[in-house]
Structure 1
Amino acid sequence: MSPPLAALRGVRVRYGERTALAVEHLGVERGEILVLLGPNGAGKSTLLRILTLLEVPAAGEVAFEGIPVTPAERPRWRRRLACCFQEPLLLNATVLANAALPLRLRGVARHEAEARAFAWLERLGVAARADRRAAKLSGGEAQRVSLARAFALEPDLLGLDEPFAPLDPESREPLQEEFLALQRERGMAAVLVTHDRAEALRLADRVAVLLEGRVAQVGPTAEVFTRPASEAVARLVGADTILEGTVLESRGGLLTLEVAGHRVEAVGSLRTGERALVILRPEDVTLLPASEAGRPSSARNHLPGRVARLLPAGPLLRVQLNCGAPVTALVTHASAAALGLAEGTGVIATFKASAAHCLPRLAPRP
């Protein structure tokens, strides 16, 4: 089995007495998009700077293709990397000069550098701005130039530190789709820093969740979002229904639990008698009118409750329920109208056992 394209091993970063980053191992595979997801201050940008050789850790090593990068080898490896940042960092020059500059700095003749840069400006839809001063660009145009500049280098690994965050939705989503198409076409690896879980879902092949400078979980995107490794990860990825219960029966990975006076079926590997957390994503909860209690359904779990709050969530509504414990569902406005949802409305919250993920409750929560 070949080693990952890039890897961190035993990395530590300290700012004064504070350990800002402590990563035992994290690899980036060829051709994948690895998203570093976490709240502000979690160490995402620091990790990216170390991985792209812009910062030297206090301890540990960075390896490319299984070979540790020595100080003497850093310049050679840096030439195989490129970065885009939240601020595009364009010089007071023309768009074409900005896009061609890294190639010129690497010794590429001016004519060839400008031809390669112009081709990428075309691919990203800003070639018509090639002779314009960079200061005259909109935010979306400037970020397109920044991406064109990075792609023109044809890097093995592209680092992106929240490059889409400053853009309005009308600019952000098309640019994300174009970036994704170009990344797939070129087959390059990319590491993207974000605190936006929708962005992670849209772009990531794998997600590494960072909390307080440590990798709390890493894995395929769907696995991290539906099978979070801890309560903290669950809340970060939006699985915000977290029910406390006790395992009554455990049979071949299917658990029966007592939760707030109800019997709940879920998947997990806990033992009978263990205290547990049952984790649910809001999109996995379906609401029925209270009058349909007891109706046959493929969903094994039916919790009666009342609407506590209705909160807008873009095109959907976030419905917070009191089912003896807090449960959250996402519904369309049409469904909410059909169910007559309002504060105090009685409903049945249903969900499949396969959608409920169980973790041991290791200690009482504050």
Structure 2
Amino acid sequence: MSVPLLQLKDLQVCYGSRVALDVPELAVSEHETLAVIGPNGAGKTTLLHALALLLPKVDRGALLFRGKPLDYKHDGLAYRRRVAVVFQEPLLCDASVYDNVALGLRFRGRSRAEILDRANLWLERLGIEHLRRCSSRTLSGGEAQRVSLARAFAVEPEVLLLDEPFSALDAPTRAQLVDDLRGLLSSARTTTVFVTHHRGEALMLGDRIVVLAEGRVQQMDEPSRVFTAPINEAVANIVGMEMIVPATILGQRDGMLQVQVNDHTVSVVSGEIPWVEGEPALVCLRPEDIHFACVAGNDRAGPPAQSPGESWNRLTGRIAGITPLGGQFRVKVDCGFPLVALVNRPLFLEGFLKVGNEADVHFRADAAHLIRRHERTSG
């Protein structure tokens, strides 16, 4: 087995009596992009600072680089020359864009020719070559962050650490920068740890995702696993499982797990967790997996023809609320418990979706995910 490029072992960081970060183990493979998500105060920035050797001290544990433990006091400068960090707020000198991009190369003692070549290369790749002579004071937020990224990539770091670099940008600028960064990471293959509270960014950029809450790693897996099979309620909330409903296990039938949710019996794919009859659970669903079959007596296209092994749930409720979301509408249905669906504009304009109307909704058994009730941490 290859040695991880970066590895944290038994790391704990405390601020006074509060444990800010407690990570038994975390490894980052070479050429991997690891996305770290979590709510405010989860320990994301502390984790990034630990990986950058920027913390004044740790209470215990070690950071290993290519299998070698690093000393926070003696190895900091040499290690940080192999690392580039981009922070939430662009840290630019009062100089031209070109000089800012070239700064890290000058600090590392590169030749004038190499500095010129590499700075110009990354000015072009980040789409800011036309700004090379402009003062950093004249830049927009998006332009300034492009300069920060160009400066980081130009030094060819072995590790790139990104601390919510797009959080202060407007939505269109942010979306374009994330898309550009995805292409750059794919081509440069730079080992990257990307901290964000934005789920879409984590999905777009991460080869794996780490979910942090209360200073602890709750789950670390491929994006599809984290977002469709959260390990506990904390992760389910963080990754946007909008419906987390208490349920009770009834047993198996026709290869499906049957669970009771209020007065309804719902079929769920059992997954990897062993369940016993009578056990309390939580059913997790995403709005995009809820579909309308019939509204106010007007039949919609019900569940598609079932393939072997497929199972659909169909419930009846009443529309309790509608919220416009640009090109979609968020429709809340009271089925004795709340279900939320995302509806596109053409369906909404048919006029059947009105508050108070009765509605039949359906969702696939494998769209529902079960977690143990009150489970808080992962193994």
Letter in 1 for 2:94: N
CA displacement, residues 287-345 of structure 1 (integer Å, 9 cap, x when unaligned): 12143499675352011111111123342211111111111111112222236212112
- C-alpha contact 2:294 2:361 (8 A) present in aligned 1: no
Secondary structure of the structure 2 residue equivalent to 1:234: helix
Secondary structure of the structure 1 residue equivalent to 2:23: strand
2:180 is aligned with 1:178:
yes
2:171 is aligned with 1:159:
no
2:225: which partner in 1?
Answer: 223
CA displacement, residues 137-180 of structure 1 (integer Å, 9 cap, x when unaligned): 11111111100000001112111111111112221112111111
User: C-alpha distance in 1, partners of 2:157/2:173?
Assistant: 25
Distance 1:36 1:296, change over 3 A: closer
2:334: which partner in 1?
Answer: 322
User: C-alpha distance in 2, partners of 1:338/1:156?
Assistant: 55
1:57: which partner in 2?
Answer: 58
Distance 1:309 1:256, change over 3 A: same
- C-alpha contact 1:31 1:184 (8 A) present in aligned 2: no
Secondary structure of the structure 1 residue equivalent to 2:133: coil
User: C-alpha distance in 2, partners of 1:334/1:315?
Assistant: 9
Secondary structure of the structure 1 residue equivalent to 2:210: strand
2:278 is aligned with 1:277:
no
User: C-alpha distance in 1, partners of 2:199/2:255?
Assistant: 29
Secondary structure of the structure 2 residue equivalent to 1:264: strand
1:73: which partner in 2?
Answer: 75
Deviation of 1:113 after TM superposition, in Å, equals 1.5
User: Equivalent pairs: percent with the same residue?
Assistant: 45
Further displaced range: 42-51 or 53-62: 53-62
User: C-alpha distance in 2, partners of 1:13/1:296?
Assistant: 51
- Counterparts of 1:1-366 in structure 2, within 5 Å, are 1-55=1-55, 56-70=57-71, 71-250=73-252, 254-268=256-270, 269-290=274-295, 291=297, 292=299, 297=304, 298=306, 299-338=311-350, 340-362=352-374
Secondary structure of the structure 1 residue equivalent to 2:104: helix
CA displacement, residues 75-111 of structure 1 (integer Å, 9 cap, x when unaligned): 2222211011111100101111111111111111334
Distance 1:252 1:151, change over 3 A: farther
Deviation of 1:251 after TM superposition, in Å, equals 6.1
Distance 1:296 1:107, change over 3 A: closer
Deviation of 1:183 after TM superposition, in Å, equals 0.8
- C-alpha contact 1:270 1:360 (8 A) present in aligned 2: no
- C-alpha contact 1:216 1:233 (8 A) present in aligned 2: yes
The aligned length equals 363
Q: TM-score, normalised by structure 1?
A: 0.94
Secondary structure of the structure 1 residue equivalent to 2:53: coil
CA displacement, residues 196-255 of structure 1 (integer Å, 9 cap, x when unaligned): 112212222211111111111111111111101111211111111112211111369731
Letter in 2 for 1:35: A
Letter in 1 for 2:240: G
Distance 1:29 1:155, change over 3 A: same
Note the aligned Cα RMSD (angstroms): 1.9
Letter in 2 for 1:137: L
**Structure 1, unpaired ranges of 5+:** none
Secondary structure of the structure 2 residue equivalent to 1:89: coil
Letter in 2 for 1:136: T
- C-alpha contact 1:293 1:348 (8 A) present in aligned 2: no
**Structure 2, unpaired ranges of 5+:** none
Letter in 1 for 2:232: S
Letter in 1 for 2:179: E
User: C-alpha distance in 1, partners of 2:163/2:303?
Assistant: 49
Further displaced range: 354-363 or 228-237: 354-363
Secondary structure of the structure 1 residue equivalent to 2:350: helix
